[in-house]
């Protein structure tokens, strides 16, 4: 099998993405929302979160379980708690971000949570949506145990992602970061492509340094920047 | 001059700190609040933010300017904006953190800002205060241009501090970090003690790597962890 690079226009990428998503059971509007997310990631230069993310979605154990409509579990004047209904986070958080924008109407501030959603994609996507409405946004998410502490051999913490957006006259100013030296999504892409990881970003299942993405998936990512990256 | 190390009990450190603070014009209750802050920092192992911080306070250009009482500039059901009255941040943010706790009573959430305050000390101190009341707290602050971008030679950004605390059954879980490879407060302490900086944390005024704290104060700090530390 030849792994040649295929270049697509945005329109072709969108057709391909939406078609694939409809093919695995998403409605038109759902397919559009997810395709928007992965194409935006690709356009930002995050190839591993681009169209390849749809393969990760389809292969997820969560995808095989039934999904329900999102539901409001609790609502106050300034807060909303959603049950994500085992939907992919790229859908659930899109709706939650829209609801966040509306929720700020009464007091200018809102706290919104989503449970039972998985694979939410780039946090920057949601805070950017919100900041485009003139709001400051902070997003964080739980993640699986993926990161070993400095000097450790087993994953103990998640990647502790945090994204912040602040509106400005020249568009949102954004920070979007996790604490790992490498993205697990990129490890998955490298595994798919049969490529090695850079030195110094991952450990294998026995705690040994590795460049093998398959070993890294069963082992741990390392934090970036030593103890300061171990948030 | 001999720079011997003096070991103090907490009670003696408190007497010394409060006496010094009263000596430079703080009232009893103000001296107690600032002394609590610097002694807590020392007890956490941050020697450079311990009693030595009182010298930084006294030497600050802001200290020589008149100060006023803190004043509420704007208040809603869920927000408070304070004018810090050119007070040292260790005082102004203490009162703001207390006000934050009260402000959450009506809707469970509050956004509180302080302008015209300087040298706020450890962000962890305030988020810990708030989390001890069962609240999740996020704190950030503006700072001067201190950090050069990776590959750059001049300071462009602040240290972009962020502190987060989440209550737990075993006390608050806290993250408190800036994006510089080294604390400017520690640079100031090293300068005072005539000690060199570690390699690779600072640039001199011409953009050259330096271990000289005086040169670093006129130059720039470097971000930790390369581009990922350049938030």
The per-residue pLDDT for A31 is 98
Q: Which residues of A touch B175 (CB under 8 A)?
A: 160, 231
Please, what sign has the CA dihedral across residues A5, A11, A14, A18? negative
Q: Report the SS3 class of residue B47.
A: helix
Q: DSSP string of B109-129?
A: --EEEEEEEE----HHHHHHH
Q: Are A223 and A150 spatial neighbours (Cβ–Cβ below 8 Å)?
A: yes
Q: Does B81 touch chain A (CB under 8 A)?
A: no
Q: Which of A76, A138, A229 sits opposite B107 (nearest CB)?
A: A76
Q: Does B173 touch chain A (CB under 8 A)?
A: no
Q: Report the SS3 class of residue A59.
A: helix
Q: Does A45 touch chain B (CB under 8 A)?
A: no
Bridge partners for B163 per DSSP: B139, B176
A162-200 core/surface letters (b: 16 or more CB in 10 A; e: else): bbbbebeeeebebbbbbbbbbbbbbbbbbbeeeeebeee
Quick: pLDDT tens for A107-159.
Answer: 999 999 999 999 999 999 999 999 999 999 999 999 889 999 988 999 998 99
Reported as half-sphere exposure (CB side, CA atoms, 13 A), residue B108 has a value of 10
Domains and CATH numbers, chain B: 10-59 (no CATH), 71-177 (3.30.1370.60), 184-229 (3.30.60.50)
pLDDT, mean over chain A: 95
- Cβ count within 10 A of residue B221: 25
Of A80, A90, A137, A143, the closest CA to residue A114 belongs to: A80
Q: Which residues of A touch B78 (CB under 8 A)?
A: 78, 107-109
pLDDT at B168 over 60: yes
Residue of B nearest to A110 (CA): B109
Token pair, residue A216, equals: 């890294």
Distance CA A43, CA A46 (A): 7
Band of residue B231 on the pLDDT scale cut at 50, 70, 90: low
pLDDT at B1 over 70: no
3-state helix, strand and coil shares in percent for chain A, rounded to the nearest 5: 40, 20, 40
Q: Does A198 touch chain B (CB under 8 A)?
A: no
Please name the residue that has the structure tokens 């009255």: B85
Q: Which residues of B touch A76 (CB under 8 A)?
A: 107-108
Q: If you ran DSSP here, which 8-state letter would residue B45 be given?
A: T
Q: Are A34 and A17 spatial neighbours (Cβ–Cβ below 8 Å)?
A: yes
Q: Which residues of A touch B177 (CB under 8 A)?
A: 228, 231
Band of residue B4 on the pLDDT scale cut at 50, 70, 90: confident
Task: For an interface test with B, give the residue of A78, A81, A140 to mutate (most B CBs within 10 A).
Answer: A78
The per-residue pLDDT for B109 is 97
Q: Are B39 and B49 spatial neighbours (Cβ–Cβ below 8 Å)?
A: no
Task: For an interface test with A, give the residue of B75, B103, B109 to mutate (most A CBs within 10 A).
Answer: B109
Q: Which residues of B touch A109 (CB under 8 A)?
A: 78-79, 109, 111
Q: Does A43 touch chain B (CB under 8 A)?
A: no
- Cβ count within 10 A of residue B173: 11
pLDDT at A220 over 70: yes
Looking at this predicted complex, what is its ipTM? 0.85
Residue B199: what are its φ and ψ, rounded to 5°? -65, 145
Q: Do B109 and A108 touch (CB under 8 A)?
A: no
Question: Of all residues in chain A, what percent carry a pLDDT higher than 70?
Answer: 98
> E-strand spans in chain A?
71-75, 79-88, 111-118, 137-140, 162-166, 173-177, 202-203, 220-221
pLDDT at A1 over 70: no
Residue of A nearest to B175 (CA): A231
């Amino acid at each position: 099998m030849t792994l040649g690079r295929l270049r697509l226009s945005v329109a072709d990428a969108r057709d391909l993405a939406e078609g694939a998503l409809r093919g695995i059971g998403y409605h038109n509007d759902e397919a559009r929302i997810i395709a928007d997310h992965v194409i935006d990631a690709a356009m930002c230069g995050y190839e591993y979160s681009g169209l390849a993310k749809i393969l990760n979605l389809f292969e997820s154990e969560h995808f095989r379980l039934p999904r329900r409509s999102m539901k409001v579990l609790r609502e106050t004047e300034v807060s909303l708690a959603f049950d994500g209904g085992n939907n992919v986070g790229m859908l659930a958080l899109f709706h939650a971000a829209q609801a966040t924008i509306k929720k700020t109407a009464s007091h200018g501030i809102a706290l919104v949570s989503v449970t039972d959603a998985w694979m939410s994609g780039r946090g920057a996507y949601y805070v950017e949506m919100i900041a485009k409405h003139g709001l400051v946004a902070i997003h964080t998410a739980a993640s699986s145990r993926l990161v070993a502490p400095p000097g450790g051999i087993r994953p103990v913490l998640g990647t502790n992602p945090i994204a912040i957006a602040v509106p400005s006259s020249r568009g949102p100013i954004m920070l979007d970061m996790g604490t790992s030296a490498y993205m697990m999504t990129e490890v998955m892409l490298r595994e798919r492509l049969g490529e090695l990881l850079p030195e110094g970003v991952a450990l294998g299942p026995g705690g040994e340094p590795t460049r093998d993405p398959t070993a890294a998936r069963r082992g741990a990512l390392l934090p970036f920047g030593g103890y300061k990256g171990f948030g």
